[in-house]
Amino acid sequence: MSDLTRKEFLKLSSAAAAAGAMASTGLGSVARAKSSDLLHRKIHSTGEMIPAVGLGTAMTFGDLSEDFNQRKNAIAALFREGATVIDTSPTYSDAEQVVGRALDELGMRDQCFLATKISIQGKQAGIDQNNKSFEDLRTNKMELLQVHNLRDTEAHLDTINGLRDEDKVKYVGITHFRDSQNEEAAKVIENNKIDFIQCHYNLLNQSIENRVLPAAREHGVAVMVNVPFARGRLFGPTAGAGLDIPEWAKDFGVDSWGKFFLKYILGHEDVTVIIPGTINDYHVVDNVGALRGRLPSQAERKRMVDFITNL
């Protein structure tokens, strides 16, 4: 369902390749140079700025029986393009091991904004699970630790706040991806001090606009968007059907369906960062590319919704 061919990818990434060839000090210096071109958004609780597109690892990233180098290349592309955020979970098969090993081999742990989750019932079970996450991710500090899908929220928020006090975690968060959990998520934002909410938002589903985004705005909570492509479903009737990008979307820098979907999300100013999932380096390049050029206006965003709804 890719809308970006290998040939297009090679063209897109030629600038990065040239920069890589010129760089004398490795991936880190290339990443820093490219990062300044990208749209960054602020984490309200500290003022830290992060590139507003990263990488998710839920679907096929954690299959250790599959090609590790393909996943490592996807992570290398993320940094080469100047982005930094990776979201994973102990429940995404072996994704934490894959991410930990890739960051280690690439020497990019310090450049990475690493987010994972506690995803189990029971406080002690959560602590045990998280100890293994530190091991698998080969790190002694996480930028963001989240309660996954609001499972045993109170117990795990207590654990995560404790880790923050010990300086092992920088930011505290919660996640969910179901309309039925919007109300509960908004209440957690209102009744606790958290830094991040991770939730679903895409051209097929804007339900978080009603309660979650206003609560996040009011309480200064950063918003990490998951399932930006509706788990890939958005590509079916568009790229998958060979549909051309509408001319009017080219006005705001859209040259692929991936960018069409991501620029729609970035057009909402409450969104801090999006974490599209992929194991393909050329899709990482495409996705991070959404951080260049202007964003759609509110009228253009409305047009995007109408266009997709009427397919």
Ligand X SMILES: NC(=O)c1ccc[n+]([C@@H]2O[C@H](COP(=O)([O-])OP(=O)(O)OC[C@H]3O[C@@H](n4cnc5c(N)ncnc54)[C@H](OP(=O)(O)O)[C@@H]3O)[C@@H](O)[C@H]2O)c1
Nearer to ligand X, 232 or 267 (CB): 232
Beta carbons within 10 angstroms of residue 175's beta carbon: 24
| Nearer to ligand X (CB atom), residue 32 or residue 187 | 187
| Residues 60/66, Cβ–Cβ less than 8 Å | yes
Query: Exactly one of 13, 35, 57, 73 binds ligand X (CB under 6 A); which one?
Result: 57
Q: Does 301 bind ligand X (CB under 6 A)?
A: no
Backbone angles phi, psi at 223, to 5 degrees: -115, 120
212 is a site residue for ligand X (CB under 6 A):
no
In the complex, residue closest to ligand X by CB:
277
Q: What tokens does 88 get? A: 């994973």
What is each CA distance from 187 to 158, 191, 255, in whole angstroms? 16, 6, 39
Should residue 56 be labelled a site residue for ligand X when binding is judged by CB under 6 A? yes
Q: To the nearest whole angstrom, how small is the minimum distance from the Cβ of residue 299 to ligand X?
A: 25
User: Whose Cβ is closer to ligand X: residue 23's or residue 230's?
Assistant: 230
Query: What element of type H or E holds 27?
Result: helix 27-35
Positions 13 through 42 that interact with ligand X (CB under 6 A): none
Is 258 a residue that touches ligand X (CB under 6 A)? yes
Q: Does 87 bind ligand X (CB under 6 A)?
A: yes
When the beta carbons of 63 and 270 are compared against ligand X, the nearer one is 63
Exposed e or buried b per residue across 113-149, where buried means at least 16 C-beta atoms within 10 angstroms of its C-beta = bbbbbbbbeeeeebbebbeebbebbbbeebbbbbbbb
**DSSP-derived pairing of the beta strands 85-87 and 55-56:** parallel
When asked if residue 177 is in the footprint of ligand X (CB under 6 A), the reply is yes
Residue 130 contacts ligand X per CB under 6 A = no
By CB under 6 A, which span of 102-110, 135-143, 169-177, 188-196 interacts with ligand X? 169-177
Taking the C-alpha atoms of residue 81 and residue 194, their distance in angstroms, rounded to an integer, is: 29
Q: Site residues (CB under 6 A) for ligand X?
A: 1-4, 56-59, 87, 148-149, 175-177, 198, 226-232, 235, 258, 275-280, 283, 286-287
